Each structure stands twice: as C-alpha cells, then as structure tokens.
Amino acid sequence: MTDLPTHLAKLDAHLARFRDHGILNLINGQDIGGATFETRSPVDDSLICTVARGTVADIDAAARAAKAAFPGWARTAPVERKRILHRIADLIEQRAEEIALLECWDTGQAWRFMSKAALRGAENFRYFADLAPGAKDGLALPTPDHLNVTSRHPIGPVGVITPWNTPFMLATWKIAPALAAGCTVVHKPAELSPLTARVLAEIAHEAGLPPGVWNLVNGFGEEAGRALTEHTDIKAIAFVGETRTGAMIQKQGADTLKRCHFELGGKNPVIVFDDADLDRALDAAIFMIYSLNGERCTSSSRLLIQDTIADDFEARLAERVGRIKVGHPLDPATEIGPLIDGGHFAKVTSYFDIARTDGATIAAGGTVPGGPGHYVNPTFFTQAQPDMRIAQEEIFGPVLTAIRFRDEAQALQIANGVAYGLTGYVWTNDLTRALRVSDRLESGMIWVNSDNVRHLPTPFGGVKNSGIGRDGGQWSFDFYMEQKNVAFALGAHKIQRLGV
Ligand code: NAD
C-alpha cells in the first residue's frame, strides 16, 4: 500500500503545472485566460493555484463554439462517437492515480474512496459509449392507415453544472451520455474543486474530440453558471447541486425555455427494523453516512431505528463512530478527511449547537480536531424528534441523526415527513414488509438490505425537493435527445375535402 509521503511527493509533481499556469478555460479547443480567482486545499487552506474566472463573454464564446460544433458532432457516425468515448475511458484509466490524488487534495475526500473514482468515471464513458450506436433508435407504431416511426435526435448544445463533492465522477456521469447522444457541451464545474474538470477536458481533446464539442468554463455560480443557464444557444441544463440553486436555475432558464434536469439534495432515511441482520445494517448505516465525509447526496443521514433494538444499536454505532479515523485525505488509513471549505465547515458544525438547543443528545463527536484544515469529528445525534432541524435539513457532513419509531406505519410517516426524497435504505428480513415499505417510501431510489450499489442502466434521481428527471441508461438519452414521430400513410385513407 502506498503511504502518505509517497502520495504527497506524487501529488506535488502533478500540481506543478497548475502552480505554474493556473487552470485556464478550454473553449473551442483553445486555452483562454483572463481574470482569475484562487482555489485552496481543504487540507491546510494552502493556495493550490489560480483559476480562470469565467465571464458572461466566456460563456458566450463557449456556447457559440458548442453551437458551431453541434451539427458535425450530431452527424458523426455513432460508432465513431463510441470509439472516441472509449478512448476517453482509456486515457482516464491511464491517469487514474493522478486524478485521484488531485481530487483528494482539491476536495478533502479520502484516498480510500477516491482511488476508485477515476475508474468509475471511465466506466461511465464506456457504458454510454456502448449505448451510442442505439441512441437514435425508436419505435414502429403502426395503425391500419399509417406507419408511425419514432426516432431520437440530440437536443443541441447543453450546459452541465456540477458540484464540489465528487466532481470528477459527477462530471463524467453527466457529460458521457450527452456526448454519446450527439450533444455538444459547456461544462461549468464547481468553483471550490476545479482541478479534475480541467484534466478531464484535456483528456477528451487528446482522445480526438473535435474542438467546440466539449468546452470548459470555470467560475462562480452567479456569474458563469447563471450566464450558461440564460444563454439562448444552450438548449438544456443538466445540474447537480443544492435544491435552492436548482430553483434559481429554473427561474434563470425560464425566458429561454430551458429543459432542466435536477439532481439535488437529500435527507435520506436508513430504516432498521428489529428483525433485520443487525450487523450488516450497522455496517451499511455507518458506511452510508461517514464515507465521502458525509458530503454525499445519497448519504443515509437519518437513522430510523425500531425502539425495541434502539438502545443497543445506537450504543454500538456510537462506539464505532468514535473509532473512525479522521486524517489527511492522502493517508490510505484515513476514513474521513477535511470538509470542502470554511463556509461548509461553519454550516456543518453549527448543527452541534442546534442539536443541543433542540434537545437531542450528542452520542459521538460534536467536536472538531482543531489545527489547520476544515476537519470535523464524525458526529452522531440520538434522541432526536422528527421535526427537529437535525432531522429535517441536509447537513451534508459526517453527521447522523437517529430517530426512534414504534412500528412500520410510524417509520413510514417519519421517513416521508421531509421535503426531500432521493434515496431510502430498508433493513428487514420480512419480505412482505420490505415490499410494502419500499412501495410507500417517497424516494427515487431504494435499496433493501443493501448499501448504495449502483447499476448504471437503472434510473438515478429523486422525487420532491431532491430533483426532477432521471439519469442512467435510456433515461439519460431521454433528457439529452428530442423524440420525433414520422407518420407514413400506407394508402389512400380518407382526407376531408373542404371548399369543394
Ligand atoms: P451548489 O448548488 O452550491 O453548486 C453547484 C453548482 O452550481 C456549482 O458549480 C455552482 O457554481 C453552480 N451555481 C451556483 N449558483 C448558480 C446559479 N445561480 N446559476 C447557475 N449555477 C449556479 O451545490 P454544492 O454546494 O456545490 O453541492 C452540494 C449539493 O449538491 C448538496 O445539496 C448535494 O446533496 C447536492 N448533490 C446532489 C447529487 C444528486 O445526484 N442528487 C449529487 C451530488 C451532490
């Protein structure tokens, strides 16, 4: 296993180019500079590099480039698109270690999780590469008079706006299907974690993607992001981020009738019934909130625990949480790294007082290790009531809130009693209960006796304030493509004759 000093030495070599040149935008295949902002590492707040601060003019140039490149890319033979996307996956795999090191340093996510992130990103490209040749396929819907034939066509240049929590994986998840469908892209990554988006865009060009097909514009949400959502030439916005940002984007895109796809926040329940395999439920509940620093939209941030087993389960959980290793993200032993920045650190830690004031118990954590960097000790609240803020609001950190329930009906009432509905996790060995509960849970994605194991052809997305639309398999193409129906008359059916 590689150790921390080795990782730091390798990271330093990869960072040199960013220190020297900063992160530039990539528009129509050209590096574009201009005004800049600084990006800092959550590990020690040190300066990583400067980043191009994309302006309205930069977005306009990128959108025009994407528009100009669109007819050529949309007409490119799908097998050729497939070949290029596989080549992108090859190059991601070749640079997987570099991408993982940069991602840890830029986001504070631990190596043990990020070491696989690039490979997951490559898998996204391979999966959608293989679907590209069939993306246009439709249906034949005959009537006695007509043969209706449907087909799908890329919608045009699209904007992709991504958050800071797992930026590389999320960018690949949104951009790969857009390119496979034949769309061209303007990507606006999160201002807090811009490193790997630049590497990804470079890889795409090296793989042979024509200029203008993939444009990268860095910058702030209210400036570059807003301009992208308002641009006339951009036909759709694929957005991953906070619920309130999604609402803003919907307003910003209204004048240009933007098609929007939103993957937003969550306050996801893990419901543990007393007949469950409690050892596995414990492992999964801990993993699904304390991995990825809890900065994970699908995290199980509410533990709904049946009162008959609550004392024991909570005690075991608190004991395990107390032993989770907080440390440098590039130390392979680390389980939790620093939070993304000071603002997010302040938000997450503010819930320690909110929990106390509202009358919950802090069974583990509720403290910070101190020193440089935005480190927070993993925290576990117990004795919470469903209406408390810690039980309602997305904290987006390594913070779990336990709420007790009596029976199935109350479990469902609590689980569904929040504004969000992204994922749900159900632990029970009663088959009919599993079927009932999963049917009634208001969530887009539910795992029964499992943690979050993704299968790329399945629909990914949330209900209520957690999102609009689905990704994955054909659902991604439904968003990035327009349906067309052509009706062919099969003979001389009756046509009404007016003015005869
Ligand atoms: P955010 O909404 O603050 O920012 C996301 C992106 O939107 C950034 O690139 C930002 O610059 C941009 N942005 C901000 N304001 C904008 C505006 N007015 N117009 C256009 N773009 C704008 O989110 P974040 O803090 O970066 O990410 C954390 C959030 O993302 C959490 O709520 C989390 O649950 C959510 N998330 C959801 C999923 C999912 O699949 N459902 C996945 C990951 C993260």
What are the DSSP calls for 28-41, one per residue? TTEEE--SEEEEE-
Give residue 240 CA to ligand 1 midpoint distance, Å.
Answer: 5
In whole angstroms, give the CA distance from residue 133 to residue 452: 29
Alpha-carbon gap, residue 42 to 108, rounded angstroms: 6
Q: Measured from the CA of 189, which atom of ligand 1 is nearest? A: 9
The number of angstroms, rounded, from the C-alpha of 105 to the middle of its chain's C-alpha atoms is: 19
Kindly write down the DSSP assignment for every residue of 53-75, as one continuous string.
Answer: ---HHHHHHHHHHHHHHHHHHHH
222 in contact with ligand 1, CB cutoff 6 A: yes
Nearest by Cα to 224 from 21, 63, 69, 41: 63
| CB distance 221 to ligand 1 below 6 Å | yes
Residue 205 has pLDDT above 90, yes or no: yes
Answer CATH for 4-264+466-485 from 3.40.605.10, 3.30.70.1140, 3.50.50.60, 1.10.630.10: 3.40.605.10
Please tell me whether residue 156 adopts helix, strand or coil conformation: coil
Give percent of the chain above pLDDT 90. 99
Q: Whose CA is nearest to atom 35 of ligand 1?
A: 241
Residue nearest to atom 30 of ligand 1 (CA): 241
Q: How far is the centre of ligand 1, averaged over its atoms, from the C-alpha of 436 (Å)?
A: 33
* Of the candidates 284, 15, 292, the residue with the CA atom closest to the CA atom of residue 169: 292
Give the residue, out of 245, 396, 456, with the most ligand 1 atoms within 8 A of its beta carbon, to mutate for a pocket test: 245
Nearest residue (by CA) to ligand 1, atom 40, is 263
273 ligand 1 Cβ < 6 A: no
Q: Tell me the residue type at 69.
A: A
Express as a percent the part of the chain with pLDDT over 70. Answer: 100
Helices 167-181 and 117-131, axial angle in degrees (round to 10): 10
Backbone angles phi, psi at 370, to 5 degrees: 85, -175
343 alpha carbon to ligand 1 midpoint, in Å?
14
Distance CA 197, CA 217 (A): 10
Biggest alpha carbon–alpha carbon distance for the chain: 90
Q: Check pLDDT > 70 for residue 343.
A: yes
Which residues fall within 8 angstroms of residue 311, CB to CB, at 6 or more apart? Answer: none
40, two tokens: 């800092």
> Tens digit of pLDDT for each residue in 86-109?
999 999 999 999 999 999 999 999
Kindly state if the Cβ of 165 falls inside 6 Å of ligand 1.
yes
Judge if the beta carbon of residue 467 lies within 6 A of ligand 1. yes
Cα separation, 152 vs 156, whole angstroms: 12
Which residue ranges does the chain devote to CATH 3.40.605.10? 4-264+466-485
Q: Are residues 303 and 270 in contact, defined by beta-carbon separation less than 8 angstroms?
A: yes
The rounded Å distance from CA 469 to ligand 1 centre is: 16
Question: In 416-462, at which residue ranges do the beta strands (DSSP E only) sit?
Answer: 420-421, 423-427, 445-448
Rounded distance from Cα 243 to ligand 1 centre (Å)? 8
Q: Is residue 352's pLDDT more than 70?
A: yes
Which residue puts its alpha carbon closest to atom 34 of ligand 1? 265
Q: Which residue has the tokens 């479990």?
A: 411
Say what the pLDDT of residue 2 is: 83
**DSSP H helix total and E strand total for the chain:** 17, 22
- Mutate which of 53, 56, 165, 186 for ligand 1 pocket (most atoms within 8 A of beta carbon): 165
For atom 42 of ligand 1, which residue has the closest CA? 297
Mutate to test the pocket of ligand 1, among 51, 109, 161 (most ligand atoms within 8 A of CB): 161
Q: Whose CA is nearest to atom 9 of ligand 1?
A: 190
**273-300: average pLDDT:** 98
Q: Which residue has the least CA distance to atom 39 on ligand 1?
A: 263
How wide is the angle at C-alpha 341 spanned by C-alphas 302 and 298, nearest 5°?
Answer: 30
- Return the structure tokens found at 195: 């490193």
Atom of ligand 1 nearest to the CA of 344: 25
What is the mean predicted confidence (pLDDT) over 402-418?
98
Atom of ligand 1 nearest to the CA of 163: 26
CA atoms within 13 A on the CB side of 29: 11
SS3 482: strand
Q: What is the mean pLDDT of the chain?
A: 97
What integer is the mean pLDDT of 150-177? 98
Q: Which residues are catalytic?
A: 263, 297
What's residue 213's pLDDT?
A: 98
Ligand 1 atom, smallest distance to 243 CA: 32
447 Cβ closer than 6 Å to some ligand 1 atom: no
- Between the CA of 192 and the centroid of ligand 1 the distance, in Å, is 11
pLDDT value for 255: 98
Q: Which CATH number fits domain 269-448: 3.30.230.10, 3.10.310.30, 3.40.309.10, 3.40.50.10800?
A: 3.40.309.10
Which pLDDT does position 426 carry in this prediction? 98
* CA 208 / ligand 1 centre spacing (Å): 30
C-alpha distances out from residue 358 to 47, 355, 391, 458, Å:
38, 5, 11, 39
- Kindly report, as residue ranges, where domains of CATH 3.40.309.10 are found in the chain: 269-448
The yes-or-no verdict on residue 1 having pLDDT over 80 is no
Q: For ligand 1, what atom is nearest to the CA of residue 228?
A: 20
Dist. CA 220 → ligand 1 center (Å): 11
Rounded average pLDDT over 198-208? 98
What does R_g of the chain's alpha carbons equal in angstroms?
24
- How many angstroms is it from 97 CA to the middle of ligand 1? 26
H or E element, residue 212: none
